Amino acid sequence: MSLKSSTIAIHNGLNEDTQFGCVVPPIYLSSTYNFTGFNEPRVHDYSRRGNPGRDIVQRTIAQLEGGSGAVMTNSGMSALHLLCTVFLQPGDLLVAPHDCYGGSYRLFNSQHQRGAYQVQFVNQNNQDELLAALKKKPKLVLIETPSNPLLTIYDIEHIARLAHEVGAFVVVDNTFLSPVLQQPIALGADFVVHSCTKYLNGHSDIIAGAVIAKEEKWALELAWWANNIGVTGGAFDSYLLLRGIRTLSPRIKQQQSNALEIVNYLTAQPWVKKLYYPALQDHAGHEIAVKQQKGFGAMLSFEFNGDEQQLCRFLSALTLFTLAESLGGVETLISHTATMTHAGMSAEARAAAGITDSLLRISVGIEDSEDLIADLENAFRVAAQR
């Protein structure tokens, strides 16, 4: 029986406890497990290698992404680092998006500088640039779509086909949409990575990551290395992550519906110079989003149409939008790209990427959309006061 994602999210791990008949799986805090006798290990021997709670969450994430296995790691960054460790040797090339997550950019760049592997950052929507990079026969091609913060869409199926022609593995960072809204393996990816810190956990109270492999052999290889270098997720985090995943589907649907309401409101708002949301007809890659996504998601950005003082007043007047980095939680967050998420980028690099000093990014939560819009309305009014 093939189950739908909301059922997978709820059903995994229920009623597995034989001692007390617990409906919900308990947290197994033991770092070690006894042997039943001389040279007779159980399924688990040590919690870095395997933990019953982590097993359940890994199985759940793998099923949601349509992969054959997954490894939960202690952050999204360690998930990416694990993949690079397994697949890239000195001299091997990684092709990464020019507008990838800032932390990913820093990781690849610093590893490149110390000779661990080579990286080339490419605008994957520029066919010539992409083909020139693929000619160098990369080992790994990373795709991140929608991109941060401008929500640019990249065609997974198309890029994966070209990458496979030169023998590269294709990895998709699916953090911004979650498997409920996009399933990269069905579109041709070999691996999917997540910052589970974001939508999968959904409550902004853990840091965690995951790598999902299409083929079982690679899932086993990744699990071996995750234990070897010690980046597996902890027992408490496994518990919280599974608990978060239980409600992933209704959460993201509500977040997306709120995002649509907010976008409708902002479209007619004179304080908004330019709005970035994949549902908009004139958005870069709107057509591809319609083809490869099951929804437009709950992240949006806009350019504030005012000076810095007005921007300051606007942000201070908001009461339901928290000025903070990160995304995907039940609470609505707003961030100022130039001074927050992309402060590590030079002003020139930001300008080249199309990021202006007036850009704001919103991660829409599950509050009532009418309250969120009223809060925006009030803050725009305050911004206008001299």
Rule CB under 6 A: which residues touch ligand PLP?
75-77, 101, 103-104, 144, 148, 173, 175-176, 195, 197-198, 207, 209
Among residues 54, 198, 214, 313, which one is catalytic? 198
With beta carbons less than 8 A apart as the criterion, state whether 146 and 292 touch: no
Residue 124 CB, shortest distance to ligand PLP, in Å, is 15
CA–CA separation, 283 and 270 (whole Å): 19
C-alpha closest to that of 270 among 336, 314, 334: 314
Shorter beta-carbon distance to ligand PLP: residue 313 or 336: 336
C-alpha closest to that of 200 among 378, 327, 34: 327
Shorter beta-carbon distance to ligand PLP: residue 130 or 211: 211
Residue 325 CB, shortest distance to ligand PLP, in Å, is 9
Burial of 39 (0-12, 13-18, 19+ CB in 10 A): exposed
Shorter beta-carbon distance to ligand PLP: residue 33 or 199: 199
Q: Is 170 helix (H, G, I), strand (E, B) or coil?
A: strand
Q: Residues 6 or more apart from 260 whose CB is under 8 A from it?
A: 279, 296
The C-alpha torsion from 187 through 188 and 191 to 193, rounded to 10°, is: -30
Q: Catalytic annotation on 48?
A: yes
Interior angle at CA 273, CA 269 and CA 274, nearest 5 = 105
DSSP 320-333: SSEE-S---SSS-E
Helix, strand counts (H, E) of the chain:
14, 12
If residue 120 lies in a helix (H) or strand (E), which one and from where to where? strand 118-122
Q: Catalytic annotation on 101?
A: yes
Shorter beta-carbon distance to ligand PLP: residue 79 or 338: 79
Residue 175 CB, shortest distance to ligand PLP, in Å, is 4
Shorter beta-carbon distance to ligand PLP: residue 72 or 376: 72
User: How far, CA to CA in Å, does 180 sit from each of 8, 295, 319, 348, 364?
Assistant: 11, 9, 30, 36, 16
Shorter beta-carbon distance to ligand PLP: residue 256 or 363: 363
Residue 119 CB, shortest distance to ligand PLP, in Å, is 15
Shorter beta-carbon distance to ligand PLP: residue 77 or 252: 77
What is the DSSP code (8-state) at residue 137? -
Q: Find the residue with minimal CB distance to ligand PLP.
A: 76
Residue 198 CB, shortest distance to ligand PLP, in Å, is 6
Residue 195 CB, shortest distance to ligand PLP, in Å, is 3
Shorter beta-carbon distance to ligand PLP: residue 12 or 148: 148
Q: Catalytic annotation on 42?
A: no
Residue 192 CB, shortest distance to ligand PLP, in Å, is 12
User: Looking up tokens 């479209």, which residue turns up?
Assistant: 267
Among residues 55, 99, 155, 173, which one is catalytic? 173
Burial of 56 (0-12, 13-18, 19+ CB in 10 A): buried
Q: Catalytic annotation on 106?
A: no
Residue 102 CB, shortest distance to ligand PLP, in Å, is 9
Q: Is 116 helix (H, G, I), strand (E, B) or coil?
A: coil
Among residues 28, 48, 49, 375, which one is catalytic? 48
HSE at residue 136, side-chain half, CA atoms within 13 A, is 16
Give the residue numbers marked as catalytic: 48, 101, 173, 198
